[in-house]
Amino acid sequence: MYAFTGVSNVHCSGYVWIEPAPVIQMGLNISINCHSTVNCQMAKLYMMLNNTHIEDKLLTTINKTTVQLQLHDFRKPYSIVLCYAKCPRQPECGRSWESDDPPDSPTNLTCVIYEHSDHLTCAWDAGKYTYISTNYILYLKSLQTGEEKAFPSNAAINISLSKLQGGKLYSIWVQAKNDLGTAHSDHLQVNLEDLVIPATPVITNVETTDSSAPRTILHWKKQTSMENVYCEERYKALADQTWHMKEWDINVTRGPHTEYSLESNTEYEFQVRCRLILAKSYWSGWSVPFIYTTPEAGEFTPRLTRGLLHLLLVSAKRRLTVCNVWAFTFW
């Protein structure tokens, strides 16, 4: 006896067929038919489904040589049925079949180009599991030249930008196909220049001023060479779940820094991210968390700048007054 998956034939003393087909959609009603060609007038047929004996009352006798089993809303992804005759007990026929699903239309198609990368990266949601081999193809069609290219992949895919010579404007979509059907995602029309994600910025320092009303200053550095970039900071106390946000236009002449009025002797977490100033542009990842603990209240000592100290010395000399300067600390 030989049993095969799909539409292959089974060679034995009889044959089995599945209606409506050997590969069916999940949840359909099916009929399993067993026909015997054994030379035995008193033979009685019975079935085993997935190694489980099927009771006689569940079988419908079509004629002396054929029986049928009907299954409703069948949802097992893979099954095997065997038919036996009782003279003697010998396998008459066997068959395997698959109960699968056609593919869903892929959704959430996303394509990006990371700054300093030479690849277009695309990913999508495939939908429900189909229980059957399903192939996916990413298509890119130039809206300027009409050239269309196909890239087979069953997961996220990286495409070298050197393969995209049809200009900057493209229509992108995904095709999903298996033995039960074909589905397509929505078309995504893009300008490759708008897909760039700026490099993630870096926090360089956090400090607190020495004053009666201390201010905590966050210093960070952009890593992108792009213009028209929009960034945002966020911070929170480590013991809290609520983030506080600060927006930034990075087109500034000096390094970005922000002053915050924070609680003393408290541990805080700071992060920064950036994106292009476009309605549908993608954010970079958040920067590596920078953890900082603010000083305790009253921890600071007065400090004089060198410039102010110089003015005091000049004034003291004019009054011929000796000025002891060793008590002052310098910046």
Which amino acid type is present at position 277?
Answer: I
pLDDT of residue 302: 43
**CA atoms of 146 and 154, how far apart (whole Å):** 25
Residues sharing a CB contact under 8 Å with residue 58, sequence separation 6 or more, in sequence order: 69
Q: Is the pLDDT of residue 11 over 70?
A: no
pLDDT tens for residues 19-76? 888 777 888 898 988 888 877 777 778 788 888 888 888 888 888 888 899 888 888 8
- What class is the 107-196 domain? mainly beta
**12, β-bridge pairs:** 14
pLDDT tens for residues 191-225? 999 999 999 999 999 999 887 788 999 999 989 88
Does the domain formed by 198-293 have CATH 2.60.40.10? Answer: yes
Domain boundaries, the chain: 14-100, 107-196, 198-293, 301-331
- What class is the 14-100 domain? mainly beta
Confidence class of residue 3 from pLDDT cuts 50, 70 and 90?
A: very low
pLDDT tens for residues 234-284? 999 999 999 999 887 665 545 677 888 899 999 999 999 999 987 678 999
pLDDT tens for residues 119-138? 999 999 998 888 788 999 99
Confidence class of residue 328 from pLDDT cuts 50, 70 and 90?
A: very low
pLDDT of residue 249: 67
Closest CA to 140 of 161, 116, 118, 114: 161
Which amino acid type is present at position 244?
Answer: H
pLDDT of residue 168: 92
Confidence class of residue 184 from pLDDT cuts 50, 70 and 90?
A: very high
**CA atoms of 271 and 282, how far apart (whole Å):** 17
Which helix (H) or strand (E) segment holds residue 177: the answer is strand 169-178
pLDDT of residue 234: 95
Mean predicted lDDT score pLDDT of the chain: 80
pLDDT of residue 21: 82
Confidence class of residue 327 from pLDDT cuts 50, 70 and 90?
A: very low
Closest CA to 33 of 65, 68, 62, 9: 68
Cis? peptide before 88, omega within 30° of 0: yes
Domains 14-100 and 107-196 share a fold: yes
Phi/psi of residue 208, nearest 5 degrees? -125, 130
Confidence class of residue 2 from pLDDT cuts 50, 70 and 90?
A: very low
Structure token digits, residue 46 = 């019975």
